Chains A and B, each alone.
Chain A
Amino acid sequence: MSTAPARITYREACREAIRAAILADPRVFLMGEDVGRYGGCYAVTKGLLEELGEARIRDTPLSESAFVGAGIGAAIAGLRPIVEVMTCNFSLLALDQILNNAATIPHMSGGQFAVPLVIRMATGAGRQLAAQHSHSLEGWFAHIPGLRILAPATIEDARHMLAAALADPNPVLIFEHIMLYNMEGELDPAVQGVDIASARIRRPGHDVTLVTYGGSLFKTLDAAEALAREGIESEVIDLRVLRPLDTATIMQSVARTRRVVIVDEGWRSGSLSAEVAMRIMEEAFFELDAPIRRVCSREVPIPYAAHLEQAALPQPGSIAEAARGLARPAP
């Protein structure tokens, strides 16, 4: 294996993560709609069926409830299934399985049954897939005790979070933002794994904290870059793990910057951004030197038309504007 950083896409990093996990452990297999012959609706699993065979890459019928339930059963029985749900929009068909079975059985059995299940889903908007394929529902799942919710935003996390998720005895949901799949970047071969517990500061700064995750990370970093040209140094936190939240990293940053903007592609009402804001109120209220601001998706079903879709989503411009309003309030 080369030790020089390799340039790969986020999609390839996801694929390599699955491939490596299956090769490393005979208990691991992948199943989902169109993951085999078609190669995945976002082409993540292209070529894996040919390489790994039908026992490890399994196409399923179009029934989320059935194949997520089968995954839960397989996990309880000792396998390490990776279940792909095409998009989180379809995961609602499997919500009963995820909430009432996967998240609950370990507790209701008094720990006798572990559910070492990993569910991957695509999330988010930006490709004109219209309302039924564009929503960001990870915040809903982050409401559920018993689940660990991951939002890999970087190629490194896309490559390495899966192994950590498979090692977790509890169900782990991984949300891959659809706008990240084509992102290209370097993967440091020296990094052999990542934790699935902590948030990361992706850019240090002292004027304002921008808390975000997933597909919004790079919009937020773009906003930070624009702000830096105006002399506003923002600290960008990539939550990475949406449940349980790494609040320590957030609070330490808030104590430094005293101003916070939360960027969340989910809808504002009852959102993950609301949870983060409330945690800050609970744990760092006296550090705040300005109101907390949020940049979320507009409260509409995500529109199809490109200009409306973009207008409905957090953008570098709106993120920078919110941060500017805190760091340089208008007189």
Chain B
Amino acid sequence: MTRDETLALVADILGGIAPEADLSTVPGDADLREALDLDSMDILNFVAALHERTGHPIPEADYPKLLTLDGLATYFQAEAH
């Protein structure tokens, strides 16, 4: 996926988890947990939705790579096939 596609997907998913959050104000390197006040349940739901929407397995070990917008963009760019 391109960065824009990934960010659109992320915005869509986080819109359901943190509805009041405005992703456009979140810097690319900010920890989403801090920026959007996400707890572990939110992260679980977020990863589950990413998995369902992209089909990627997303092992637990990869979670740290998914905690910033930049990280997400890179992750799904690298994982694209």
Contact = CB atoms under 8 A, between A and B. Distances in A.
A287 B23 CA distance: 11
B4 A282 contact: yes
A28 B59 CA distance: 65
Give the contact-size bracket for chain B.
under 10
A90 interface: no
Interface in A278-300: 281-282, 285-287
Nearest to B11: A286
A257 to B, nearest CB: 15
A287 B4 CA distance: 13
Contacts of A285: 4, 8
Interface in A246-304: 255, 281-282, 285-287
Interface residues of A, number: 6
B40 interface: no
A255 B25 CA distance: 11
A111 B9 CA distance: 44
A158 B24 CA distance: 37
Contacts of A287: 24
Interface of A: 255, 281-282, 285-287
Give me the 6 closest cross-chain CB pairs, A-B, nearest first.
Answer: A285-B4, A286-B24, A286-B11, A287-B24, A286-B8, A282-B4
Given A281-B4, A286-B7, A287-B24, 5 more contacts: A255-B24, A282-B4, A286-B8, A286-B11, A286-B23
11 contacts: A255-B24, A281-B4, A282-B4, A285-B4, A285-B8, A286-B7, A286-B8, A286-B11, A286-B23, A286-B24, A287-B24
